[in-house]
Amino acid sequence: MDTKLKLTDTAIIDLLGGTAQVARMCKVDPAAVSAWKVRGIPADRFMFLGARIEEASHGLVTRQDIFPTNFWLIWPELLKNNSFGKQDDIE
């Protein structure tokens, strides 16, 4: 059974403090963040918010959960805490 928490984009924005707070974090207009609730959080912003999501969810949603196939390319420091083996085994 999968016990990991899965969040919608709206729930992620709310978890991170709401539209205005996420807009400040990402240095964008709040209207852009409001649009993300409908269209989805852009990939580059999602990567930027990854660690913040993990922290705000108290580890219930990890960067490895969010980016299971490439988290180690974005955050190589997480490679030692995974089930894939050594970095040489992945590449």
Rounded CA gap, 63 and 45, in Å? 13
Residue 35 belongs to a domain: yes
3 belongs to a structural domain = no
Query: Which CATH number fits the domain that encloses residue 37?
Result: 1.10.260
Residue 1 within a domain: no
In a domain, 62, yes or no: yes
The CA distance from 17 to 24, in Å, is: 10
Residue 27 is assigned to a structural domain of this protein: yes
pLDDT digits (tens, 9 = 90+) for 28-86: 999 999 999 999 999 899 989 988 998 999 888 888 888 888 887 777 787 775 555 55
Residues in CB range of 17: below 8 A, 6 or more apart: 56
Q: What's the pTM value of the predicted model, to 2 decimals?
A: 0.75
Q: Give the range of the structural domain holding residue 70, as residue numbers without chain letter.
A: 9-90
Q: Is residue 2 included in any domain, yes or no?
A: no
Q: How many folded domains does the chain comprise?
A: 1
